[in-house]
Amino acid sequence: MHSVAEALDRLTGLAESPTVATLAAAFDAAGFELSLVGGPVRDAFLDRSTNDLDFTTDATPDEILAVVKPIAEAHWDIGREFGTIGAKIHGHTVEITTYRADEYDGASRKPEVAFGTSLVDDLERRDFTVNALALRLPRLELVDPSGGVEDLIARVLRTPSKPEVSFGDDPLRMMRAARFASQLGFEVEPDTLAAMFALAPEIDRISAERVRDELSKLLLTDTPMRGIRLLVDSGIAARVLPEIPALMLEIDEHHHHKDVYEHSLTVLDQAIDYEASRGRLDSPDLVLRLAALLHDIGKPATRRLEPGGAVSFHHHDMVGAKLARKRLRALRFDNDTIKAVSRLIELHLRFFGYTDGAWTDSAVRRYVRDAGDQLERLHILTRADVTTRNRRKADRLGFAYDDLEERIARLAEEEELAAVRPELDGQQIMAALGVRPGPVVGEAYKFLLDVRLDEGPIGPDAARERLLAWWAERQAAAPGA
Protein backbone atom coordinates (compact mmCIF):
# COMPACT_ATOMS: atom_id res chain seq x y z
CA MET A 1 0.00 0.00 0.00
CA HIS A 2 1.13 3.54 -0.77
CA SER A 3 1.76 6.00 2.05
CA VAL A 4 -0.78 8.82 2.24
CA ALA A 5 1.73 11.20 0.63
CA GLU A 6 2.42 8.76 -2.23
CA ALA A 7 -1.31 8.19 -2.74
CA LEU A 8 -1.95 11.93 -2.91
CA ASP A 9 0.85 12.29 -5.46
CA ARG A 10 -0.75 9.58 -7.54
CA LEU A 11 -4.16 11.23 -7.26
CA THR A 12 -2.61 14.54 -8.27
CA GLY A 13 -1.23 12.91 -11.38
CA LEU A 14 -4.65 11.45 -12.17
CA ALA A 15 -6.30 14.84 -11.62
CA GLU A 16 -3.88 16.40 -14.10
CA SER A 17 -4.73 13.88 -16.83
CA PRO A 18 -6.60 15.41 -19.80
CA THR A 19 -9.89 13.65 -19.06
CA VAL A 20 -10.10 14.61 -15.37
CA ALA A 21 -8.70 18.11 -15.85
CA THR A 22 -11.16 18.86 -18.65
CA LEU A 23 -14.12 17.70 -16.56
CA ALA A 24 -12.94 19.56 -13.45
CA ALA A 25 -12.51 22.82 -15.34
CA ALA A 26 -15.92 22.53 -17.02
CA PHE A 27 -17.84 21.87 -13.77
CA ASP A 28 -15.91 24.58 -11.92
CA ALA A 29 -16.67 27.12 -14.66
CA ALA A 30 -20.36 26.18 -14.47
CA GLY A 31 -20.38 26.71 -10.71
CA PHE A 32 -20.85 23.07 -9.69
CA GLU A 33 -18.92 20.85 -7.30
CA LEU A 34 -17.13 17.81 -8.73
CA SER A 35 -15.19 15.05 -6.97
CA LEU A 36 -13.43 11.90 -8.04
CA VAL A 37 -14.97 9.25 -5.82
CA GLY A 38 -14.82 5.63 -4.70
CA GLY A 39 -12.67 3.07 -6.49
CA PRO A 40 -10.14 5.37 -8.19
CA VAL A 41 -9.37 7.10 -4.87
CA ARG A 42 -9.22 3.83 -2.94
CA ASP A 43 -6.97 2.19 -5.51
CA ALA A 44 -4.53 5.09 -5.42
CA PHE A 45 -3.80 4.14 -1.80
CA LEU A 46 -3.56 0.42 -2.64
CA ASP A 47 -1.22 0.92 -5.60
CA ARG A 48 -3.77 -0.77 -7.85
CA SER A 49 -4.45 0.26 -11.40
CA THR A 50 -7.97 1.41 -12.16
CA ASN A 51 -9.91 1.65 -15.39
CA ASP A 52 -12.99 3.31 -13.90
CA LEU A 53 -13.35 7.04 -13.47
CA ASP A 54 -16.33 7.79 -11.25
CA PHE A 55 -17.34 11.28 -10.24
CA THR A 56 -20.00 12.78 -8.03
CA THR A 57 -21.46 16.29 -8.12
CA ASP A 58 -24.17 18.57 -6.77
CA ALA A 59 -25.40 19.13 -10.35
CA THR A 60 -28.65 17.44 -11.36
CA PRO A 61 -28.65 14.98 -14.28
CA ASP A 62 -29.93 17.68 -16.64
CA GLU A 63 -27.21 20.05 -15.46
CA ILE A 64 -24.55 17.33 -15.84
CA LEU A 65 -25.62 16.81 -19.44
CA ALA A 66 -25.44 20.52 -20.14
CA VAL A 67 -21.86 20.61 -18.84
CA VAL A 68 -20.53 17.48 -20.59
CA LYS A 69 -22.17 17.86 -24.02
CA PRO A 70 -19.72 20.53 -25.27
CA ILE A 71 -16.62 18.63 -24.09
CA ALA A 72 -17.54 14.97 -24.75
CA GLU A 73 -17.01 12.87 -27.85
CA ALA A 74 -20.13 10.94 -26.82
CA HIS A 75 -22.57 10.90 -23.93
CA TRP A 76 -25.48 8.74 -22.73
CA ASP A 77 -28.11 8.91 -20.02
CA ILE A 78 -29.07 5.25 -19.56
CA GLY A 79 -28.61 5.67 -15.77
CA ARG A 80 -30.38 9.02 -15.65
CA GLU A 81 -33.16 7.90 -13.26
CA PHE A 82 -30.41 7.01 -10.76
CA GLY A 83 -28.66 10.31 -11.35
CA THR A 84 -25.85 8.94 -13.53
CA ILE A 85 -24.69 10.36 -16.85
CA GLY A 86 -21.99 8.64 -18.89
CA ALA A 87 -19.61 10.28 -21.32
CA LYS A 88 -16.45 9.68 -23.31
CA ILE A 89 -13.89 12.43 -22.87
CA HIS A 90 -10.42 12.30 -24.43
CA GLY A 91 -11.05 8.64 -25.22
CA HIS A 92 -11.91 7.63 -21.63
CA THR A 93 -15.32 6.57 -20.38
CA VAL A 94 -16.51 8.40 -17.25
CA GLU A 95 -19.63 8.31 -15.10
CA ILE A 96 -20.87 11.37 -13.22
CA THR A 97 -23.56 10.90 -10.58
CA THR A 98 -25.58 13.45 -8.64
CA TYR A 99 -25.12 13.30 -4.84
CA ARG A 100 -27.47 10.65 -3.47
CA ALA A 101 -29.73 10.80 -0.43
CA ASP A 102 -31.69 7.61 -1.07
CA GLU A 103 -34.50 6.50 1.18
CA TYR A 104 -35.21 2.86 1.99
CA ASP A 105 -38.50 1.47 3.25
CA GLY A 106 -36.96 -1.80 4.47
CA ALA A 107 -39.20 -3.94 2.27
CA SER A 108 -38.79 -3.11 -1.40
CA ARG A 109 -36.01 -4.52 -3.54
CA LYS A 110 -34.80 -1.10 -4.67
CA PRO A 111 -34.27 2.18 -2.85
CA GLU A 112 -36.40 5.24 -3.52
CA VAL A 113 -33.89 7.35 -5.45
CA ALA A 114 -33.43 10.82 -3.98
CA PHE A 115 -30.77 13.38 -4.87
CA GLY A 116 -28.74 15.23 -2.25
CA THR A 117 -26.73 18.42 -2.01
CA SER A 118 -23.83 17.39 0.26
CA LEU A 119 -20.71 15.42 -0.64
CA VAL A 120 -20.18 14.30 2.96
CA ASP A 121 -23.77 13.05 3.23
CA ASP A 122 -23.33 11.19 -0.05
CA LEU A 123 -20.13 9.51 1.16
CA GLU A 124 -21.67 8.48 4.47
CA ARG A 125 -24.40 6.59 2.60
CA ARG A 126 -21.90 4.43 0.68
CA ASP A 127 -21.23 0.75 1.30
CA PHE A 128 -17.81 0.71 3.00
CA THR A 129 -15.51 3.33 4.44
CA VAL A 130 -12.73 2.39 2.00
CA ASN A 131 -15.09 3.33 -0.82
CA ALA A 132 -16.36 6.48 0.93
CA LEU A 133 -13.36 8.56 -0.14
CA ALA A 134 -13.43 11.52 -2.52
CA LEU A 135 -11.00 13.98 -4.06
CA ARG A 136 -12.56 17.41 -4.57
CA LEU A 137 -11.70 18.92 -7.92
CA PRO A 138 -10.03 21.05 -9.01
CA ARG A 139 -8.60 22.00 -5.60
CA LEU A 140 -7.41 18.44 -4.77
CA GLU A 141 -8.88 18.15 -1.27
CA LEU A 142 -9.18 14.61 0.11
CA VAL A 143 -12.55 14.07 1.81
CA ASP A 144 -12.73 11.13 4.24
CA PRO A 145 -15.61 11.54 6.72
CA SER A 146 -15.64 7.90 7.95
CA GLY A 147 -11.99 7.00 8.49
CA GLY A 148 -11.57 5.17 5.20
CA VAL A 149 -7.84 5.85 4.99
CA GLU A 150 -7.29 4.28 8.43
CA ASP A 151 -9.30 1.23 7.33
CA LEU A 152 -7.25 0.96 4.14
CA ILE A 153 -4.10 0.92 6.25
CA ALA A 154 -5.63 -1.70 8.57
CA ARG A 155 -6.99 -3.66 5.57
CA VAL A 156 -10.49 -3.99 7.00
CA LEU A 157 -13.99 -3.57 5.60
CA ARG A 158 -16.35 -1.51 7.73
CA THR A 159 -19.58 0.32 6.94
CA PRO A 160 -19.69 4.14 7.36
CA SER A 161 -22.91 3.93 9.37
CA LYS A 162 -23.93 1.14 11.75
CA PRO A 163 -23.78 -2.10 9.76
CA GLU A 164 -27.33 -3.03 10.75
CA VAL A 165 -28.54 0.22 9.23
CA SER A 166 -26.33 -0.03 6.13
CA PHE A 167 -27.23 -3.66 5.38
CA GLY A 168 -30.86 -2.99 6.24
CA ASP A 169 -30.87 -0.18 3.69
CA ASP A 170 -29.36 -2.39 0.97
CA PRO A 171 -28.78 -6.06 1.83
CA LEU A 172 -26.74 -6.55 -1.34
CA ARG A 173 -23.92 -4.76 0.50
CA MET A 174 -23.40 -8.01 2.42
CA MET A 175 -22.50 -9.75 -0.82
CA ARG A 176 -20.29 -6.80 -1.75
CA ALA A 177 -18.42 -7.37 1.51
CA ALA A 178 -17.60 -10.89 0.31
CA ARG A 179 -16.54 -9.58 -3.08
CA PHE A 180 -14.27 -6.86 -1.67
CA ALA A 181 -12.80 -9.33 0.83
CA SER A 182 -11.67 -11.37 -2.18
CA GLN A 183 -10.80 -8.48 -4.47
CA LEU A 184 -8.79 -6.50 -1.93
CA GLY A 185 -7.68 -9.28 0.43
CA PHE A 186 -9.28 -7.43 3.38
CA GLU A 187 -10.89 -8.80 6.54
CA VAL A 188 -14.45 -7.88 7.45
CA GLU A 189 -14.47 -5.95 10.74
CA PRO A 190 -16.16 -7.91 13.61
CA ASP A 191 -19.32 -5.79 14.03
CA THR A 192 -19.82 -5.72 10.25
CA LEU A 193 -19.32 -9.50 10.09
CA ALA A 194 -21.79 -10.07 12.94
CA ALA A 195 -24.38 -8.01 11.08
CA MET A 196 -23.89 -10.17 7.97
CA PHE A 197 -24.64 -13.29 10.00
CA ALA A 198 -27.66 -11.70 11.68
CA LEU A 199 -29.16 -10.14 8.56
CA ALA A 200 -28.49 -12.92 6.05
CA PRO A 201 -32.26 -13.52 5.49
CA GLU A 202 -32.58 -9.92 4.28
CA ILE A 203 -30.82 -10.90 1.06
CA ASP A 204 -34.16 -12.39 0.00
CA ARG A 205 -35.32 -8.82 -0.66
CA ILE A 206 -32.80 -8.40 -3.45
CA SER A 207 -33.73 -9.19 -7.05
CA ALA A 208 -32.21 -12.24 -8.71
CA GLU A 209 -30.54 -10.02 -11.29
CA ARG A 210 -28.66 -7.96 -8.68
CA VAL A 211 -27.61 -11.13 -6.83
CA ARG A 212 -26.40 -12.65 -10.12
CA ASP A 213 -24.34 -9.58 -10.97
CA GLU A 214 -22.69 -9.45 -7.54
CA LEU A 215 -21.97 -13.19 -7.54
CA SER A 216 -20.41 -12.85 -11.00
CA LYS A 217 -18.20 -9.97 -9.83
CA LEU A 218 -17.04 -12.10 -6.89
CA LEU A 219 -16.20 -15.06 -9.13
CA LEU A 220 -14.26 -12.81 -11.49
CA THR A 221 -11.87 -11.64 -8.76
CA ASP A 222 -8.37 -13.14 -8.63
CA THR A 223 -9.10 -15.17 -5.48
CA PRO A 224 -12.86 -15.73 -5.04
CA MET A 225 -12.40 -18.52 -2.48
CA ARG A 226 -12.23 -16.06 0.45
CA GLY A 227 -15.50 -14.42 -0.52
CA ILE A 228 -17.30 -17.71 -1.14
CA ARG A 229 -16.32 -18.93 2.33
CA LEU A 230 -17.70 -15.71 3.78
CA LEU A 231 -21.02 -16.17 1.97
CA VAL A 232 -21.27 -19.77 3.15
CA ASP A 233 -20.24 -19.10 6.75
CA SER A 234 -22.63 -16.16 7.11
CA GLY A 235 -25.62 -18.10 5.77
CA ILE A 236 -26.04 -15.87 2.72
CA ALA A 237 -25.02 -18.62 0.28
CA ALA A 238 -27.74 -20.87 1.69
CA ARG A 239 -30.24 -18.32 0.37
CA VAL A 240 -28.71 -17.37 -2.99
CA LEU A 241 -26.67 -20.46 -3.98
CA PRO A 242 -27.73 -23.23 -1.58
CA GLU A 243 -26.04 -25.95 -3.62
CA ILE A 244 -22.65 -24.80 -2.31
CA PRO A 245 -23.19 -25.14 1.47
CA ALA A 246 -25.01 -28.40 0.67
CA LEU A 247 -21.62 -29.79 -0.42
CA MET A 248 -20.62 -29.97 3.26
CA LEU A 249 -21.53 -33.64 3.48
CA GLU A 250 -21.35 -35.40 6.81
CA ILE A 251 -18.45 -37.84 6.98
CA ASP A 252 -18.85 -40.66 9.50
CA GLU A 253 -16.21 -42.94 10.96
CA HIS A 254 -17.24 -45.91 8.80
CA HIS A 255 -17.59 -44.26 5.39
CA HIS A 256 -14.85 -42.02 4.10
CA HIS A 257 -14.75 -39.72 1.11
CA LYS A 258 -13.15 -36.47 0.10
CA ASP A 259 -14.60 -33.27 1.60
CA VAL A 260 -16.70 -32.18 -1.38
CA TYR A 261 -16.99 -28.54 -0.31
CA GLU A 262 -13.25 -28.08 0.16
CA HIS A 263 -12.58 -30.05 -3.02
CA SER A 264 -14.88 -27.74 -5.02
CA LEU A 265 -13.14 -24.61 -3.73
CA THR A 266 -9.78 -26.13 -4.59
CA VAL A 267 -10.97 -27.01 -8.10
CA LEU A 268 -12.08 -23.39 -8.56
CA ASP A 269 -8.71 -22.15 -7.35
CA GLN A 270 -6.81 -24.53 -9.65
CA ALA A 271 -9.04 -23.71 -12.63
CA ILE A 272 -8.14 -20.04 -12.21
CA ASP A 273 -4.45 -20.96 -12.20
CA TYR A 274 -4.84 -23.04 -15.39
CA GLU A 275 -6.95 -20.31 -16.98
CA ALA A 276 -4.07 -17.88 -16.57
CA SER A 277 -1.20 -20.25 -17.41
CA ARG A 278 -2.70 -21.75 -20.57
CA GLY A 279 -3.67 -18.35 -21.95
CA ARG A 280 -6.26 -19.74 -24.37
CA LEU A 281 -9.34 -18.15 -22.81
CA ASP A 282 -10.32 -14.57 -22.17
CA SER A 283 -9.43 -14.20 -18.53
CA PRO A 284 -11.18 -14.02 -16.15
CA ASP A 285 -13.67 -16.55 -17.55
CA LEU A 286 -17.05 -16.64 -15.80
CA VAL A 287 -18.34 -19.81 -17.47
CA LEU A 288 -15.27 -21.80 -16.45
CA ARG A 289 -15.41 -20.51 -12.88
CA LEU A 290 -19.10 -21.26 -12.48
CA ALA A 291 -18.54 -24.78 -13.82
CA ALA A 292 -15.60 -25.34 -11.47
CA LEU A 293 -17.55 -24.17 -8.43
CA LEU A 294 -20.69 -26.13 -9.32
CA HIS A 295 -19.21 -29.25 -10.92
CA ASP A 296 -19.98 -31.56 -7.98
CA ILE A 297 -23.34 -30.14 -6.81
CA GLY A 298 -24.98 -33.39 -7.87
CA LYS A 299 -23.13 -35.34 -5.18
CA PRO A 300 -25.41 -34.69 -2.18
CA ALA A 301 -28.42 -36.06 -4.08
CA THR A 302 -26.56 -39.14 -5.37
CA ARG A 303 -24.52 -40.07 -2.28
CA ARG A 304 -24.76 -43.74 -1.37
CA LEU A 305 -23.01 -45.49 1.52
CA GLU A 306 -21.70 -48.79 0.20
CA PRO A 307 -20.76 -51.93 2.16
CA GLY A 308 -17.18 -51.94 3.29
CA GLY A 309 -16.94 -48.19 3.88
CA ALA A 310 -17.02 -46.93 0.31
CA VAL A 311 -19.14 -43.97 -0.77
CA SER A 312 -20.52 -43.65 -4.30
CA PHE A 313 -21.99 -40.73 -6.26
CA HIS A 314 -23.29 -42.46 -9.37
CA HIS A 315 -24.54 -40.12 -12.11
CA HIS A 316 -23.72 -37.00 -10.10
CA ASP A 317 -22.52 -35.42 -13.32
CA MET A 318 -25.95 -35.63 -14.95
CA VAL A 319 -27.80 -34.68 -11.77
CA GLY A 320 -25.40 -31.78 -11.20
CA ALA A 321 -25.91 -30.46 -14.74
CA LYS A 322 -29.68 -30.45 -14.15
CA LEU A 323 -29.32 -28.68 -10.80
CA ALA A 324 -26.97 -26.10 -12.32
CA ARG A 325 -29.44 -25.30 -15.09
CA LYS A 326 -32.20 -24.81 -12.53
CA ARG A 327 -30.12 -22.56 -10.25
CA LEU A 328 -28.62 -20.46 -13.02
CA ARG A 329 -32.05 -19.91 -14.52
CA ALA A 330 -33.34 -18.79 -11.12
CA LEU A 331 -30.46 -16.30 -10.97
CA ARG A 332 -31.39 -15.02 -14.46
CA PHE A 333 -28.15 -15.98 -16.18
CA ASP A 334 -28.31 -15.82 -19.96
CA ASN A 335 -29.07 -18.97 -21.94
CA ASP A 336 -25.59 -19.29 -23.45
CA THR A 337 -23.97 -19.27 -20.00
CA ILE A 338 -26.48 -21.78 -18.64
CA LYS A 339 -25.96 -24.10 -21.59
CA ALA A 340 -22.16 -23.93 -21.42
CA VAL A 341 -21.91 -24.42 -17.63
CA SER A 342 -24.34 -27.34 -17.54
CA ARG A 343 -22.59 -29.02 -20.48
CA LEU A 344 -19.22 -28.78 -18.76
CA ILE A 345 -20.65 -30.29 -15.59
CA GLU A 346 -22.25 -33.07 -17.61
CA LEU A 347 -18.91 -33.90 -19.27
CA HIS A 348 -16.48 -33.35 -16.41
CA LEU A 349 -16.13 -37.07 -15.59
CA ARG A 350 -15.77 -38.27 -19.18
CA PHE A 351 -11.96 -38.22 -19.20
CA PHE A 352 -11.51 -40.47 -16.17
CA GLY A 353 -12.35 -43.50 -18.29
CA TYR A 354 -9.32 -42.69 -20.40
CA THR A 355 -6.96 -44.03 -17.75
CA ASP A 356 -8.79 -47.39 -17.60
CA GLY A 357 -7.67 -48.36 -21.07
CA ALA A 358 -6.52 -46.83 -24.33
CA TRP A 359 -9.25 -44.87 -26.09
CA THR A 360 -9.74 -45.57 -29.76
CA ASP A 361 -9.52 -42.69 -32.21
CA SER A 362 -13.31 -42.95 -32.39
CA ALA A 363 -13.58 -42.27 -28.63
CA VAL A 364 -11.28 -39.26 -28.94
CA ARG A 365 -13.37 -37.88 -31.81
CA ARG A 366 -16.55 -38.29 -29.76
CA TYR A 367 -14.96 -36.53 -26.80
CA VAL A 368 -14.17 -33.55 -29.01
CA ARG A 369 -17.57 -33.67 -30.73
CA ASP A 370 -19.43 -33.76 -27.43
CA ALA A 371 -17.39 -30.90 -25.95
CA GLY A 372 -17.90 -28.74 -29.02
CA ASP A 373 -16.91 -25.13 -28.40
CA GLN A 374 -16.36 -25.90 -24.70
CA LEU A 375 -13.32 -28.12 -25.34
CA GLU A 376 -10.69 -25.74 -23.92
CA ARG A 377 -12.78 -25.13 -20.82
CA LEU A 378 -13.28 -28.89 -20.46
CA HIS A 379 -9.52 -29.39 -20.66
CA ILE A 380 -9.02 -26.92 -17.81
CA LEU A 381 -11.92 -28.18 -15.67
CA THR A 382 -10.78 -31.80 -15.99
CA ARG A 383 -7.20 -30.97 -15.02
CA ALA A 384 -8.37 -28.76 -12.13
CA ASP A 385 -10.59 -31.59 -10.85
CA VAL A 386 -7.49 -33.54 -9.81
CA THR A 387 -6.96 -32.54 -6.18
CA THR A 388 -5.49 -35.74 -4.79
CA ARG A 389 -2.51 -35.42 -2.46
CA ASN A 390 -1.18 -38.70 -3.84
CA ARG A 391 1.62 -37.41 -6.07
CA ARG A 392 1.86 -40.62 -8.06
CA LYS A 393 -1.87 -40.64 -8.84
CA ALA A 394 -1.85 -36.93 -9.73
CA ASP A 395 1.10 -37.42 -12.08
CA ARG A 396 -0.55 -40.43 -13.71
CA LEU A 397 -3.73 -38.44 -14.41
CA GLY A 398 -1.75 -35.43 -15.61
CA PHE A 399 0.34 -37.50 -18.00
CA ALA A 400 -2.79 -39.25 -19.28
CA TYR A 401 -4.46 -35.94 -20.04
CA ASP A 402 -1.30 -34.69 -21.74
CA ASP A 403 -1.54 -37.76 -23.95
CA LEU A 404 -5.22 -37.12 -24.70
CA GLU A 405 -4.56 -33.51 -25.68
CA GLU A 406 -1.69 -34.61 -27.92
CA ARG A 407 -3.96 -37.11 -29.65
CA ILE A 408 -6.67 -34.49 -30.09
CA ALA A 409 -4.15 -32.11 -31.64
CA ARG A 410 -2.80 -34.79 -33.95
CA LEU A 411 -6.24 -35.91 -35.12
CA ALA A 412 -7.35 -32.29 -35.49
CA GLU A 413 -4.40 -31.63 -37.77
CA GLU A 414 -5.15 -34.71 -39.82
CA GLU A 415 -8.93 -34.51 -39.95
CA GLU A 416 -10.08 -30.96 -39.11
CA LEU A 417 -11.49 -32.52 -35.95
CA ALA A 418 -13.08 -29.35 -34.62
CA ALA A 419 -15.50 -29.42 -37.56
CA VAL A 420 -16.39 -33.12 -37.51
CA ARG A 421 -19.51 -33.71 -39.58
CA PRO A 422 -20.77 -36.34 -42.03
CA GLU A 423 -19.19 -36.34 -45.46
CA LEU A 424 -22.59 -35.85 -47.09
CA ASP A 425 -24.86 -32.97 -46.15
CA GLY A 426 -28.63 -33.01 -45.98
CA GLN A 427 -29.14 -32.12 -49.64
CA GLN A 428 -26.72 -34.85 -50.77
CA ILE A 429 -28.44 -37.39 -48.52
CA MET A 430 -31.87 -36.56 -50.01
CA ALA A 431 -30.47 -36.77 -53.54
CA ALA A 432 -28.80 -40.15 -52.89
CA LEU A 433 -31.89 -41.69 -51.28
CA GLY A 434 -34.50 -39.94 -53.42
CA VAL A 435 -36.39 -38.71 -50.35
CA ARG A 436 -37.94 -35.41 -49.30
CA PRO A 437 -37.12 -33.52 -46.07
CA GLY A 438 -38.27 -35.44 -43.02
CA PRO A 439 -37.17 -37.59 -40.07
CA VAL A 440 -35.39 -40.11 -42.27
CA VAL A 441 -32.87 -37.45 -43.34
CA GLY A 442 -31.95 -36.87 -39.69
CA GLU A 443 -31.55 -40.62 -39.12
CA ALA A 444 -29.31 -40.89 -42.18
CA TYR A 445 -27.28 -37.91 -41.05
CA LYS A 446 -26.74 -39.53 -37.64
CA PHE A 447 -25.69 -42.80 -39.27
CA LEU A 448 -23.08 -41.02 -41.39
CA LEU A 449 -21.86 -39.03 -38.39
CA ASP A 450 -21.31 -42.28 -36.47
CA VAL A 451 -19.34 -43.63 -39.43
CA ARG A 452 -17.24 -40.47 -39.49
CA LEU A 453 -16.56 -40.65 -35.74
CA ASP A 454 -15.79 -44.36 -35.75
CA GLU A 455 -13.62 -44.51 -38.85
CA GLY A 456 -12.45 -40.99 -39.62
CA PRO A 457 -12.64 -39.55 -43.15
CA ILE A 458 -13.56 -42.14 -45.79
CA GLY A 459 -14.42 -39.79 -48.67
CA PRO A 460 -17.80 -38.78 -50.17
CA ASP A 461 -18.00 -41.73 -52.59
CA ALA A 462 -17.44 -44.33 -49.87
CA ALA A 463 -19.85 -42.45 -47.59
CA ARG A 464 -22.52 -42.60 -50.32
CA GLU A 465 -22.00 -46.36 -50.71
CA ARG A 466 -22.33 -46.88 -46.96
CA LEU A 467 -25.45 -44.73 -46.91
CA LEU A 468 -27.09 -46.72 -49.73
CA ALA A 469 -26.24 -50.00 -47.97
CA TRP A 470 -27.77 -48.68 -44.74
CA TRP A 471 -30.86 -47.55 -46.64
CA ALA A 472 -31.27 -50.93 -48.35
CA GLU A 473 -31.04 -52.76 -45.00
CA ARG A 474 -33.54 -50.35 -43.50
CA GLN A 475 -35.97 -50.81 -46.39
CA ALA A 476 -35.63 -54.59 -46.23
CA ALA A 477 -36.36 -54.57 -42.49
CA ALA A 478 -39.43 -52.37 -42.89
CA PRO A 479 -42.82 -54.04 -42.19
CA GLY A 480 -44.39 -55.45 -45.38
CA ALA A 481 -41.05 -55.44 -47.24
Global confidence as pTM: 0.82
pLDDT digits (tens, 9 = 90+) for 118-150: 999 999 999 999 999 999 999 999 999 999 999
Extents of the domains making up the chain: 1-148, 155-241, 258-419, 426-477
pLDDT of 430 strictly over 60: yes
Task: Quickly state the pLDDT bin for 258 (edges 50, 70, 90).
Answer: low
Give the CATH H-level superfamily of domain 1-148. Answer: Beta Polymerase, domain 2 (3.30.460.10)
Per-residue pLDDT at 200: 98
For 155-241, which CATH class? mainly alpha
Per-residue pLDDT at 254: 42
pLDDT digits (tens, 9 = 90+) for 73-88: 999 988 888 899 999 9
Choose between 434 and 32: higher pLDDT.
Answer: 32
Tell which CATH architecture fits domain 258-419: Orthogonal Bundle (1.10)
Cis peptide before 40 (omega within 30 of 0): no
The overall average pLDDT reported for the chain is 89
Task: Quickly state the pLDDT bin for 396 (edges 50, 70, 90).
Answer: confident
CA 58 to CA 165: how far, in whole Å? Answer: 25
Whether 122 and 100 have beta carbons less than 8 Å apart is answered as yes
Q: What b/e readout covers 67-98, taking b as 16+ CB neighbours within 10 angstroms?
A: bbeeebeebeeeeeeebbbbbebeebebbbbb
pLDDT digits (tens, 9 = 90+) for 144-198: 999 999 999 999 999 999 999 999 999 999 999 999 999 999 999 999 999 999 9
Whether 249 and 303 have beta carbons less than 8 Å apart is answered as yes
Whether 196 and 218 have beta carbons less than 8 Å apart is answered as no
pLDDT of 107 strictly over 70: no
Whether 214 and 204 have beta carbons less than 8 Å apart is answered as no
Whether 247 and 238 have beta carbons less than 8 Å apart is answered as no
